[in-house]
Structure 1
């Protein structure tokens, strides 16, 4: 497997994708913005199809559409039930329209396209060294910005009202985070596909937060789990005819189930020790 350059590039790209998705997904789950992540992931498909139609690399289409969708979500009004309903309605409408545009772009493209299946469900074939360098640059930029805003972003994610009262720019941090999420989503879409990128963003982070409540430990676990499931998915997909996105999603789901099961067992074991002794019990 390692004798093929395209597999070496796939593992390099997969590692970069896992690091970016694990870190951004951890904050996404903490901030309860999974729906925003799903929205940004969905528009990657028309972005890739549009890029193919224009004759440029699909990577640019992923990044352009995902970041643009993140900016649109960041510009929507916040606060209040009415604003939340309006945001959901606009997001759903934009999703449906852009998905239809994606299928239109693939129909208009008369050349050799990698296929709708690979765009939707991922493929490790055809990842070039240029795409790996692009992913490296994007991952480094995303992690650098995330490190710069990490502490105030964590504060604003845990308690936005108190953070705003202490002078933290909550709205600006939310916009920056959504743009970073768009870049991370565009990265992961090139491995898992646009429909399954959501799994790589959510499940490793959710599993890590179930394993540890300490932010630093949980964040590190999210990155490690994302990298492990990505490597396992690429390895199994190499020896089978099925999309890599299926395997990455399956292994990520298994990690989440195991983490939740382990947490449940730990809580059941610790619960008797925390219960008070009955009256007249042993001293």
Structure 2
């Protein structure tokens, strides 16, 4: 067995010899990632507030199954991904009003969607690279029509989020009080699930089905570690998502690996830094009173 040369591994990960030419080829992908980082950061705030990180993973599995089916039957992969994500969002939204019901439904949908997607990929006679990219993401030359699809769906999600932002925030913080005040909590939950399904479908095209949480959960989770402000948390979440998505693509351009390891690593590093900041703040708050008592 031949030993793996660490230099070869680094060469696959980072090789910026033709960076300028490669950067021009993936300009549309960078724009798509930037849009995804912004919208995903906003949606992620409510994903965390409503404890729906598990639901994101379940929707991504059905989105993957829809994309794999589209690949097999020669249909637009984006359309298949959106179709699968919306079916999952509808099922979870209708049947999973309570957190316990939602988690059990997601637990049923995840293996079903993953198994169905693997079946479609096994039947697909085309290149293996197309199969692999649905799971882990891949830098591709996104043409103008595809970019239009991605931006269009992201704008729908963004506009929808802005329209329901205030009542959704109220419902996310205290659903019982919101319902007592006449807030249409059932409608808001259903509408948010549909918007979440759309942004998950978009995310699958960039980072892959298995690692979609890196853009829809981790940035918001990191932002909530360093702030509790209803204004600053969304701003930080968007910033972290944007840095993760665009930064991951800019690094991945110089290598021959899928894009997802770069995006997830940046996203995780941001989360770790925010955890450390939160820990130091907590430690300082507990240390200062103790010193004051000692004095």
Alignment TM-score > 0.5, same fold: yes
Distance 1:89 1:179 in 2: 19
Q: How does 1:197-236 map to 2 (within 5 A)?
A: 197-236=212-251
Distance 2:245 2:185 in 1: 33
Distance 1:235 1:98 in 2: 31
2:97 to 41, 53, 78: 78
1:145 to 129, 149, 160: 160
Q: Which residue of 1 aligns with 2:63?
A: 44
Q: Which residue of 1 aligns with 2:14?
A: none
Q: CA deviation at 1:110?
A: 2.1
In the alignment, structure 1 residue 19 sits paired with structure 2 residue 38: yes
Provide structure 2 residue ranges, at least 5 long, that are not aligned to the other structure: 1-18
Distance 1:49 1:18 in 2: 24
Q: How does 1:231-270 map to 2 (within 5 A)?
A: 231-270=246-285
Secondary structure at the aligned position of 1:115 is classed as: helix
In the alignment, structure 1 residue 181 sits paired with structure 2 residue 196: yes
When the two structures are superposed, what TM-score results if normalisation uses the length of structure 2?
A: 0.88
Q: Which residue of 1 aligns with 2:86?
A: 67
Distance 1:32 1:92 in 2: 15
When the two structures are superposed, what TM-score results if normalisation uses the length of structure 1?
A: 0.91
Q: Do the aligned residues in 1 keep the contact of 2:136 with 2:260 (CA within 8 Å)? A: yes
Provide structure 1 residue ranges, at least 5 long, that are not aligned to the other structure: none
Distance 1:271 1:248 in 2: 35
Distance 2:263 2:270 in 1: 11
1:57 to 68, 76, 97: 76
Distance 2:291 2:31 in 1: 53
Q: CA deviation at 1:108?
A: 2.2
Q: CA deviation at 1:55?
A: 1.3
> How many pairs are equivalent?
276
Q: How well do the aligned residues superpose, as a CA RMSD in angstroms?
A: 1.8
Distance 1:34 1:69 in 2: 14
1:259–1:77 distance in 2 versus 1, CA, 3 Å: closer
Q: Identify which range, 244-253 or 208-217, moves more after superposition.
A: 208-217
Q: Do the aligned residues in 1 keep the contact of 2:219 with 2:241 (CA within 8 Å)? A: yes
Q: Do the aligned residues in 2 keep the contact of 1:66 with 1:185 (CA within 8 Å)? A: yes
Q: Do the aligned residues in 2 keep the contact of 1:22 with 1:201 (CA within 8 Å)? A: yes
Q: Do the aligned residues in 2 keep the contact of 1:123 with 1:192 (CA within 8 Å)? A: yes
Q: Deviations over 1:145-173 (max 9, x none)?
A: 11110000000000001111111111110
Secondary structure at the aligned position of 2:51 is classed as: coil
